[in-house]
A and B are shown apart, each in its own frame.
Chain A
Protein backbone atom coordinates (compact mmCIF):
# COMPACT_ATOMS: atom_id res chain seq x y z
CA UNK A 1 0.00 0.00 0.00
CA UNK A 2 1.34 3.42 -0.92
CA UNK A 3 2.51 5.50 2.01
CA UNK A 4 0.85 8.75 2.99
CA UNK A 5 2.53 11.57 1.01
CA UNK A 6 1.64 14.05 3.74
CA UNK A 7 4.61 12.68 5.71
CA UNK A 8 7.01 14.28 3.21
CA UNK A 9 8.74 17.17 4.93
CA UNK A 10 7.77 15.97 8.39
CA UNK A 11 10.38 16.62 11.06
CA UNK A 12 10.58 14.26 14.03
CA UNK A 13 11.47 15.55 17.49
CA UNK A 14 15.19 15.73 18.41
CA UNK A 15 16.52 12.54 20.01
CA UNK A 16 17.96 12.60 23.53
CA UNK A 17 21.68 13.49 23.40
CA UNK A 18 24.07 10.63 22.64
CA UNK A 19 27.45 11.15 24.25
CA UNK A 20 30.27 9.86 22.05
CA UNK A 21 32.83 7.96 24.13
CA UNK A 22 36.44 7.02 23.49
CA UNK A 23 35.84 3.34 24.19
CA UNK A 24 32.76 3.25 21.92
CA UNK A 25 34.86 4.62 19.08
CA UNK A 26 37.54 2.02 19.80
CA UNK A 27 34.92 -0.76 19.92
CA UNK A 28 33.43 0.37 16.60
CA UNK A 29 36.88 0.57 14.96
CA UNK A 30 37.74 -2.92 16.28
CA UNK A 31 34.48 -4.29 14.89
CA UNK A 32 35.41 -3.19 11.37
CA UNK A 33 38.97 -4.47 11.84
CA UNK A 34 40.42 -0.99 11.50
CA UNK A 35 43.74 -0.37 13.27
CA UNK A 36 43.99 3.32 12.32
CA UNK A 37 45.85 4.92 15.27
CA UNK A 38 43.75 8.12 15.22
CA UNK A 39 40.72 6.05 16.33
CA UNK A 40 42.35 4.97 19.60
CA UNK A 41 45.47 7.02 20.32
CA UNK A 42 44.90 10.71 21.20
CA UNK A 43 48.53 11.54 20.31
CA UNK A 44 48.10 10.08 16.82
CA UNK A 45 44.92 12.10 16.39
CA UNK A 46 46.68 15.26 17.62
CA UNK A 47 49.38 14.79 14.98
CA UNK A 48 46.57 15.05 12.40
CA UNK A 49 45.32 18.24 14.02
CA UNK A 50 42.49 16.91 16.18
CA UNK A 51 41.98 17.59 19.88
CA UNK A 52 41.31 13.92 20.68
CA UNK A 53 40.67 10.59 18.96
CA UNK A 54 38.21 10.71 16.08
CA UNK A 55 35.45 8.35 14.96
CA UNK A 56 35.46 6.47 11.62
CA UNK A 57 33.38 7.95 8.76
CA UNK A 58 30.49 5.50 9.19
CA UNK A 59 30.39 5.72 13.00
CA UNK A 60 27.42 8.18 12.99
CA UNK A 61 25.17 5.26 11.96
CA UNK A 62 25.27 4.35 15.68
CA UNK A 63 23.21 7.51 16.22
CA UNK A 64 21.29 7.92 12.95
CA UNK A 65 19.87 4.40 12.79
CA UNK A 66 18.07 4.47 16.16
CA UNK A 67 16.91 8.00 15.30
CA UNK A 68 15.36 6.69 12.06
CA UNK A 69 13.48 4.04 14.05
CA UNK A 70 11.10 6.82 15.07
CA UNK A 71 9.93 6.87 11.46
CA UNK A 72 10.26 3.16 10.68
CA UNK A 73 8.05 2.24 13.65
CA UNK A 74 5.70 5.22 13.46
CA UNK A 75 2.26 3.59 13.48
CA UNK A 76 0.76 6.67 11.81
CA UNK A 77 3.06 6.18 8.80
CA UNK A 78 2.48 2.45 8.69
CA UNK A 79 5.73 1.40 7.03
CA UNK A 80 5.89 -2.40 6.81
CA UNK A 81 9.04 -2.50 8.92
CA UNK A 82 9.44 -6.27 8.70
CA UNK A 83 10.05 -5.80 4.95
CA UNK A 84 12.37 -2.82 5.20
CA UNK A 85 15.81 -3.09 3.64
CA UNK A 86 18.54 -0.47 3.39
CA UNK A 87 18.67 0.89 -0.16
CA UNK A 88 21.48 3.41 0.03
CA UNK A 89 23.36 5.54 2.51
CA UNK A 90 25.19 8.83 2.38
CA UNK A 91 27.20 10.59 5.06
CA UNK A 92 28.25 14.20 4.80
CA UNK A 93 30.67 15.26 7.51
CA UNK A 94 31.45 18.77 8.70
CA UNK A 95 34.06 17.18 10.95
CA UNK A 96 34.67 13.77 12.54
CA UNK A 97 32.82 12.93 15.76
CA UNK A 98 34.93 12.70 18.88
CA UNK A 99 34.75 11.87 22.57
CA UNK A 100 32.56 14.21 24.57
CA UNK A 101 30.38 15.23 21.64
CA UNK A 102 26.81 15.21 22.91
CA UNK A 103 24.93 14.55 19.71
CA UNK A 104 21.27 15.27 19.03
CA UNK A 105 19.67 13.84 15.88
CA UNK A 106 16.77 15.34 13.97
CA UNK A 107 15.14 13.20 11.28
CA UNK A 108 13.26 14.67 8.33
CA UNK A 109 11.27 12.67 5.79
CA UNK A 110 12.72 13.93 2.50
CA UNK A 111 10.70 11.89 0.04
CA UNK A 112 8.26 9.02 -0.30
CA UNK A 113 7.95 7.12 -3.55
CA UNK A 114 6.35 3.96 -4.79
CA UNK A 115 7.99 1.89 -7.48
CA UNK A 116 7.22 -1.63 -8.68
CA UNK A 117 5.22 -2.32 -5.54
CA UNK A 118 8.00 -1.12 -3.24
CA UNK A 119 7.63 1.80 -0.86
CA UNK A 120 10.75 3.96 -0.84
CA UNK A 121 11.35 6.52 1.84
CA UNK A 122 14.34 8.83 2.10
CA UNK A 123 15.29 10.11 5.53
CA UNK A 124 17.72 12.91 6.24
CA UNK A 125 19.17 12.93 9.74
CA UNK A 126 21.14 15.91 10.95
CA UNK A 127 23.41 15.20 13.88
CA UNK A 128 24.47 18.25 15.84
CA UNK A 129 25.91 19.05 19.23
CA UNK A 130 23.50 20.22 21.90
CA UNK A 131 24.82 23.71 21.15
CA UNK A 132 23.59 23.38 17.58
CA UNK A 133 26.90 22.75 15.77
CA UNK A 134 26.18 20.45 12.81
CA UNK A 135 28.65 17.54 12.75
CA UNK A 136 27.26 15.00 10.27
CA UNK A 137 24.27 14.47 8.01
CA UNK A 138 23.08 10.97 7.18
CA UNK A 139 20.80 10.40 4.21
CA UNK A 140 19.27 6.94 3.98
CA UNK A 141 16.97 5.31 1.46
CA UNK A 142 14.81 2.65 3.08
CA UNK A 143 12.85 0.27 0.89
CA UNK A 144 9.84 -1.69 2.09
CA UNK A 145 9.80 -4.53 -0.40
CA UNK A 146 6.39 -5.10 -1.89
CA UNK A 147 4.85 -8.40 -0.92
CA UNK A 148 2.02 -9.00 -3.34
CA UNK A 149 1.45 -12.56 -2.17
CA UNK A 150 1.41 -11.56 1.46
CA UNK A 151 -0.94 -8.69 0.77
CA UNK A 152 -3.29 -11.00 -1.07
CA UNK A 153 -3.14 -13.47 1.78
CA UNK A 154 -3.89 -10.71 4.23
CA UNK A 155 -6.69 -9.42 2.05
Chain B
Protein backbone atom coordinates (compact mmCIF):
# COMPACT_ATOMS: atom_id res chain seq x y z
CA UNK B 1 0.00 0.00 0.00
CA UNK B 2 1.21 3.45 -0.88
CA UNK B 3 0.42 4.84 2.55
CA UNK B 4 2.75 2.29 4.12
CA UNK B 5 5.69 3.55 2.06
CA UNK B 6 7.92 6.43 2.97
CA UNK B 7 8.37 9.14 0.36
CA UNK B 8 11.96 7.97 -0.24
CA UNK B 9 10.75 4.43 -0.94
CA UNK B 10 7.96 5.62 -3.15
CA UNK B 11 10.24 7.77 -5.29
CA UNK B 12 13.25 5.45 -5.34
CA UNK B 13 14.88 4.54 -8.65
CA UNK B 14 13.27 1.37 -9.98
CA UNK B 15 9.85 2.03 -8.45
CA UNK B 16 7.28 0.68 -10.87
CA UNK B 17 4.13 2.72 -11.45
CA UNK B 18 0.79 0.90 -11.62
CA UNK B 19 0.29 0.10 -15.31
CA UNK B 20 -2.96 0.78 -17.12
CA UNK B 21 -4.66 0.07 -20.45
CA UNK B 22 -6.86 2.55 -22.21
CA UNK B 23 -9.32 1.56 -24.94
CA UNK B 24 -9.71 4.29 -27.58
CA UNK B 25 -12.78 4.47 -29.79
CA UNK B 26 -13.93 6.94 -32.44
CA UNK B 27 -16.29 8.41 -29.85
CA UNK B 28 -13.30 9.23 -27.63
CA UNK B 29 -11.57 10.99 -30.52
CA UNK B 30 -14.65 13.06 -31.35
CA UNK B 31 -15.00 14.03 -27.69
CA UNK B 32 -11.30 14.96 -27.47
CA UNK B 33 -11.55 16.95 -30.70
CA UNK B 34 -14.32 19.02 -29.16
CA UNK B 35 -12.60 19.46 -25.80
CA UNK B 36 -9.18 20.31 -27.24
CA UNK B 37 -10.27 22.28 -30.28
CA UNK B 38 -8.24 20.07 -32.64
CA UNK B 39 -10.66 19.21 -35.43
CA UNK B 40 -8.11 17.90 -37.92
CA UNK B 41 -10.10 15.47 -40.09
CA UNK B 42 -7.49 12.71 -39.86
CA UNK B 43 -8.81 12.16 -36.32
CA UNK B 44 -12.44 11.47 -37.23
CA UNK B 45 -12.94 11.18 -41.00
CA UNK B 46 -11.81 7.80 -42.37
CA UNK B 47 -12.27 8.84 -45.98
CA UNK B 48 -10.06 11.89 -45.48
CA UNK B 49 -7.43 9.90 -43.53
CA UNK B 50 -7.09 7.40 -46.37
CA UNK B 51 -6.89 10.21 -48.93
CA UNK B 52 -3.84 11.65 -47.18
CA UNK B 53 -2.11 8.28 -47.05
CA UNK B 54 -3.00 6.98 -43.59
CA UNK B 55 -4.36 3.46 -43.06
CA UNK B 56 -7.43 4.85 -41.27
CA UNK B 57 -8.39 7.45 -38.67
CA UNK B 58 -5.58 7.99 -36.14
CA UNK B 59 -5.79 9.26 -32.57
CA UNK B 60 -4.58 12.77 -31.82
CA UNK B 61 -1.00 12.42 -30.60
CA UNK B 62 -1.99 14.80 -27.83
CA UNK B 63 -4.84 12.49 -26.85
CA UNK B 64 -2.42 9.58 -26.46
CA UNK B 65 -0.07 11.85 -24.51
CA UNK B 66 -2.90 12.93 -22.22
CA UNK B 67 -4.13 9.39 -21.62
CA UNK B 68 -0.62 8.11 -20.92
CA UNK B 69 -0.20 10.99 -18.47
CA UNK B 70 -2.99 9.52 -16.35
CA UNK B 71 -0.55 6.82 -15.24
CA UNK B 72 1.68 9.61 -13.89
CA UNK B 73 -1.03 11.63 -12.20
CA UNK B 74 -2.86 8.60 -10.75
CA UNK B 75 0.41 7.43 -9.23
CA UNK B 76 1.62 10.73 -7.81
CA UNK B 77 -1.82 11.81 -6.57
CA UNK B 78 -1.32 15.53 -7.16
CA UNK B 79 -1.51 16.27 -10.92
CA UNK B 80 0.23 19.57 -10.24
CA UNK B 81 3.35 17.62 -9.22
CA UNK B 82 4.00 16.80 -12.89
CA UNK B 83 6.40 19.65 -13.62
CA UNK B 84 7.58 18.49 -17.00
CA UNK B 85 6.23 15.99 -19.51
CA UNK B 86 7.74 15.06 -22.87
CA UNK B 87 6.77 12.61 -25.58
CA UNK B 88 7.87 11.86 -29.11
CA UNK B 89 5.09 10.77 -31.43
CA UNK B 90 6.77 7.75 -32.97
CA UNK B 91 3.85 5.80 -34.44
CA UNK B 92 0.23 6.75 -34.99
CA UNK B 93 -2.48 4.93 -33.04
CA UNK B 94 -4.89 3.70 -35.70
CA UNK B 95 -8.49 3.67 -34.46
CA UNK B 96 -10.73 1.60 -36.74
CA UNK B 97 -14.50 2.11 -36.82
CA UNK B 98 -15.20 -1.48 -35.79
CA UNK B 99 -16.85 -1.03 -32.43
CA UNK B 100 -13.62 -1.98 -30.68
CA UNK B 101 -11.07 0.67 -31.61
CA UNK B 102 -7.52 0.58 -30.29
CA UNK B 103 -5.92 -0.25 -26.97
CA UNK B 104 -3.09 1.84 -25.55
CA UNK B 105 -1.01 0.21 -22.83
CA UNK B 106 1.05 2.32 -20.47
CA UNK B 107 3.64 1.39 -17.89
CA UNK B 108 6.24 3.47 -16.12
CA UNK B 109 9.02 3.53 -13.62
CA UNK B 110 11.22 5.93 -11.73
CA UNK B 111 14.55 6.08 -13.54
CA UNK B 112 16.44 8.91 -11.88
CA UNK B 113 16.50 11.02 -8.75
CA UNK B 114 17.11 14.52 -10.13
CA UNK B 115 17.44 16.36 -6.83
CA UNK B 116 15.96 16.28 -3.34
CA UNK B 117 12.54 17.20 -4.63
CA UNK B 118 12.28 15.72 -8.10
CA UNK B 119 12.46 12.37 -9.86
CA UNK B 120 12.37 11.36 -13.50
CA UNK B 121 9.77 8.86 -14.62
CA UNK B 122 9.99 7.04 -17.95
CA UNK B 123 6.81 5.75 -19.56
CA UNK B 124 6.43 2.93 -22.05
CA UNK B 125 3.41 3.45 -24.27
CA UNK B 126 2.42 0.79 -26.78
CA UNK B 127 -0.50 -0.16 -28.98
CA UNK B 128 -0.76 -3.49 -30.82
CA UNK B 129 2.69 -4.31 -29.45
CA UNK B 130 4.33 -1.27 -31.03
CA UNK B 131 5.77 1.72 -29.22
CA UNK B 132 3.54 4.68 -30.10
CA UNK B 133 5.21 7.28 -27.89
CA UNK B 134 9.00 7.40 -27.78
CA UNK B 135 11.18 8.83 -25.02
CA UNK B 136 8.10 9.54 -22.92
CA UNK B 137 9.52 11.09 -19.77
CA UNK B 138 8.28 13.25 -16.94
CA UNK B 139 9.74 15.21 -14.09
CA UNK B 140 7.63 14.67 -11.00
CA UNK B 141 7.87 16.55 -7.73
CA UNK B 142 8.33 14.11 -4.90
CA UNK B 143 7.92 16.45 -1.93
Kindly identify which residue among A28, A39, A50 contacts B36, using a CB–CB cutoff of 8 Å: A28
Q: B16 within 8 Å of A by Cβ?
A: no
Q: Looking at chain A's contact residues, is the secondary structure mostly helix, strand, loop, or mixed?
A: mixed
Interface residues on chain A, size class: 20 to 34
Interface pair B35/A56, CB less than 8 Å apart: no
Interface pair A34/B89, CB less than 8 Å apart: no
A3-B85 Cα distance, complex, nearest whole Å: 28
Interface pair B83/A93, CB less than 8 Å apart: yes
Interface pick from A84-92, A101-109, A110-118, A124-132: A84-92
Known A34-B66, A87-B88; 13 more pairs at CB < 8 Å: A24-B35, A31-B34, A32-B32, A58-B65, A61-B36, A65-B37, A86-B62, A86-B89, A89-B87, A92-B83, A93-B80, A93-B84, A95-B80
**Taking beta carbons and an 8 Å cutoff, which residues of A are in contact with B?**
24, 27-28, 30-34, 36, 38-39, 48, 50, 54, 56-58, 61-62, 65-66, 82, 85-93, 95-96
